[in-house]
Structure 1
Amino acid sequence: MKLSLGPLQYFWPRERVLAFYRAAAGWPLDAIYLGETVCSKRRELRTRDWLALAEELAASGKQIVLSTLALLEAESELGALRRLVENGRFLVEANDMSAVQLCRERGLAFVGGPTLNVYNARALRLLCEDGMCRLVLGVEQGRELVHALRAQTEAEGGTVPELEIIAWGRLPLAYSARCFTARAFDVAKDQCGFRCLEHPDGLPLATREGQPFLTINGIQIQGREVCDLGPELPELRAAGIEVLRLSPQAEGMEDVVRRFHEAREADTPLPRVGARNGYWHGVPGMDLPVAE
C-alpha cells in the first residue's frame, strides 16, 4: 500500500506551510498533495507559490499532485484552476466537475477528489473515460460501496482505478458559500480578518448543551474526531484500497506518517489511536466509541 499526505485543510502562515512540506520531503511517503482546497481567500501561498513548492518537492522522488478548490465561486478562481491544470508537469486532483472538464478537454489524466460524489459504477466509468486514474473515496463511502463499485464495474467488463481513502484526519463533512468561522466571530466573510489563522487545527464547535460536536474550518465543516483507520489496514487491503491518505495536522504529523509506514511494512493492523470511522463500517460515526 502507498501512503499519501493529503492537501492541507487548514490555514497556516506561509513560513509554517513551507517548513512543514520541506520536512515532509524526508518522510516515508509515496505522494504529497499540494494546494488550497477550502477557501480562495487563503492566499499566504498563491498559485505560483504552490507550483514552485511542487518543483522543489519533486526532487524528493515522491509523486506530487496539485489539488483544486472544492467550491469555486468566482471567475478569478476559475483562472487559478486553469493555471493549475495547465502546469505541464504534475498530476491534478480534481475536486469539482469544472476541474474534471478542464482536464478532459486537455486530454490530461487526473485524480478524482473526495468531493466528486461517485456512488455507482456508471459514474465511475464516465470519470475514467474522462481521464481519472485514481479515485479518492468520499468520506461517507464505506466498505459496502467499495465492494459494490468493484463488483458492478467488473461485471460490466471495466477496471476500477486506483482507490485512495482518508485513513487519518478529521473528515470534511460539508462545504458552504458562507464562512462558518467568520459567522462564529460575527464578522462578514469579506472582512473575516483571516481568523482561520488563529485555529491551525480548526475551531471546535459544541452543542447548546456544551457537548463537543463538530469542527469549523472556514467554509468547511469537519467531524470533531481525528479518525483513524489504522486497525482496519488488513480489511482495507482486502477491499483493494491502494493508497492511504493522511491529512496534515499542526503537531505530530511525522509520528503519524511513520506509524502507518511501519504498519504497512509489517503488514499488521495498528492499535487504535484516533476515533473509529463509522462511515467505513456503514454506521453513523458517532455511534462508535472514540477509543477501543
Structure 2
Amino acid sequence: MNASMKLSLGPLQYFWPRAATLAFYRAVAGWPIDIVYLGETVCSKRRELGFRDWLALAEELAEAGKEVVLSTLALIEAESELGVVRNQVGNGRFMVEANDLSAVQLCRERKVPFVGGPSLNVYNHRALAMLMEDGLRRWVPGAEQGRVLLQELRGALEAEDLAMPELEMLAWGRLPLSYSARCFTARALDLPKDQCGFRCIDYPDGLPLATREGEPFLTINGIQVQGTEVIDMAPEREAMAACGIGVLRISPQAQGMEEVIAHFRQTLEADAPPPALGARNGYWHGQAGKASLAGMEPGKAA
C-alpha cells in the first residue's frame, strides 16, 4: 500500500469536440483524482476551448476539491501563442505546467512556482537545479527517462546538498515521443498544415501508423508523435516510490477512463499492485520503449 502517492490526470493530448471535452472534465470532478492538468499542449490551432473556457473548468474542478494546473503548449511558434502563455502564467490562482522554456522564463519573471513538464528535456542535475532556481516545484520527466537516470540525478543533487523536487511520472497512456513544426496528421491525409481542416478531431485517440509490413508502429497526433501502445506502470509502484516519485500521471483517452482511474486507485491502496492492463514501458528499464517486458518481474531490469 502506498497512500502517500497521488494520482493526476495529465493534459488532454488529443483534439476532441467542445461538448465531449466539457462533458469529460465535468465527469472528472467526481473521480478519485487528486490533480488535474488543463489546457492545450500540442497544437495552437485546436480552439474548441479557449483560455477562458479552460479557466472556467479549472474553477469548477477546484470547487470539487481537485488541485488544478494549467498546461502550456510544448512548442511555441508565434507571438499569439506566447500571449496565451502569458495569460496562463498571470492567471493569479492556479499553478502552471511549463512545457516550453518560454513559459519557464515568464514564470521566472513573475516569480511564480511551476511544474516542469515532460517536454522541457532535462537530462542532468545542473539543468534541473537551474530550473529549481527559476521556480520549479514539481518535475515530470520525459517518457524516455527511466529509473537509472532518476537515481543518478538524485545522487548528483544530494552531492551538492540539493533536494530532488517532487516527481511525477506518466503511468498510463501512449508515450509522447516527439514534436515537430510540421503536422503529421495533415501530411498523412495529403493536406497542407495551414488548411488541415482540423482533421485530427476525427481521431480521438490519434491516428495509428503501421510499417510497410502492417505492424503497428506509432500514433500520429497532429504535430506530435506517440508510441502505439498504451503503457501501464502500475506493476512498478514500489520501484517508482523508491525513486521518489510521488505522483502517477494518467493521460486521458476517449473511452474507459473511469475504469483506468479505478485501476490506479487500487494500485495505490492495495498491499500489492494489480496486474498491468496495458503494455510495460521499456524505457523505465533502460531498454527500447517498445521492448516486450510482459514476463519481467516488476522493478527488475532484464
Q: TM-score range by the shorter chain?
A: over 0.9
Runs (4+) of structure 1 moved beyond 6 Å?
none
- AA at the equivalent of 2:98: A
Distance in 1 of aligned mates of 2:195 and 2:21: 23
Within 5 Å, which residues of 2 pair with 1:18-57? 18-57=22-61
* C-alpha contact (below 8 Å) 1:275/1:291 kept by paired residues: no
Tell me by how many angstroms 1:153 deviates.
0.5
Ranges in structure 2 where 5+ consecutive residues have no aligned partner: 297-302
> In the alignment, is residue 217 of structure 1 matched against residue 217 of structure 2?
no
Could you tell me which of 221, 228, 233 is aligned with 2:237? 233
Distance in 2 of aligned mates of 1:284 and 1:23: 36
1:164–1:267 distance in 2 versus 1, CA, 3 Å: farther
Distance in 2 of aligned mates of 1:220 and 1:54: 25
> In the alignment, is residue 80 of structure 1 matched against residue 84 of structure 2?
yes
Distance in 2 of aligned mates of 1:232 and 1:120: 23
Tell me by how many angstroms 1:52 deviates.
1.1
Distance in 2 of aligned mates of 1:104 and 1:164: 21
* C-alpha contact (below 8 Å) 2:173/2:252 kept by paired residues: yes
Aligned to 1:103: 107
Aligned to 1:190: 194
Distance in 2 of aligned mates of 1:291 and 1:82: 47
Q: Which piece of structure 1 moves more, 230-239 or 1-10?
A: 230-239
Tell me by how many angstroms 1:81 deviates.
0.7
TM-score (norm 2): 0.95
Aligned to 2:140: 136
- AA at the equivalent of 2:145: Q
Q: 1:105-154: CA deviations, max 9, x gaps?
A: 00000000001111111111100000000000111110000100111101
* C-alpha contact (below 8 Å) 1:28/1:261 kept by paired residues: yes
Tell me by how many angstroms 1:287 deviates.
2.5
Tell me by how many angstroms 1:286 deviates.
2.3
Distance in 1 of aligned mates of 2:80 and 2:122: 27
> In the alignment, is residue 10 of structure 1 matched against residue 14 of structure 2?
yes
Tell me by how many angstroms 1:268 deviates.
2.1
Distance in 2 of aligned mates of 1:42 and 1:122: 35
Q: 1:77-128: CA deviations, max 9, x gaps?
A: 0111100110000000000100000000000000000011111111111000
Secondary structure of the corresponding residue to residue 286 of structure 1:
coil
Could you tell me which of 139, 155, 159 is aligned with 2:159? 155
Q: 1:259-286: CA deviations, max 9, x gaps?
A: 1011201242220211110000000022
* C-alpha contact (below 8 Å) 1:233/1:270 kept by paired residues: no
Tell me by how many angstroms 1:236 deviates.
0.7
Q: CA RMSD in A?
A: 1.0
- AA at the equivalent of 2:250: L
Q: 1:47-78: CA deviations, max 9, x gaps?
A: 11111111111101110000000001111001
Tell me by how many angstroms 1:291 deviates.
7.6
Aligned to 2:252: 248
Ranges in structure 1 where 5+ consecutive residues have no aligned partner: none
Distance in 2 of aligned mates of 1:143 and 1:275: 17
- AA at the equivalent of 1:137: P
TM-score (norm 1): 0.98
Secondary structure of the corresponding residue to residue 48 of structure 2:
coil
Distance in 2 of aligned mates of 1:213 and 1:110: 34
Q: 1:171-195: CA deviations, max 9, x gaps?
A: 1101000000000000111111111
Give the aligned length. Answer: 292
Q: Which piece of structure 1 moves more, 6-15 or 53-62?
A: 53-62
- AA at the equivalent of 2:32: P
Secondary structure of the corresponding residue to residue 164 of structure 1:
strand
Aligned to 2:272: 268
Tell me by how many angstroms 1:238 deviates.
1.2
1:291–1:206 distance in 2 versus 1, CA, 3 Å: farther
Aligned to 1:287: 291
Percent identity over the alignment is 69
* C-alpha contact (below 8 Å) 1:227/1:276 kept by paired residues: yes
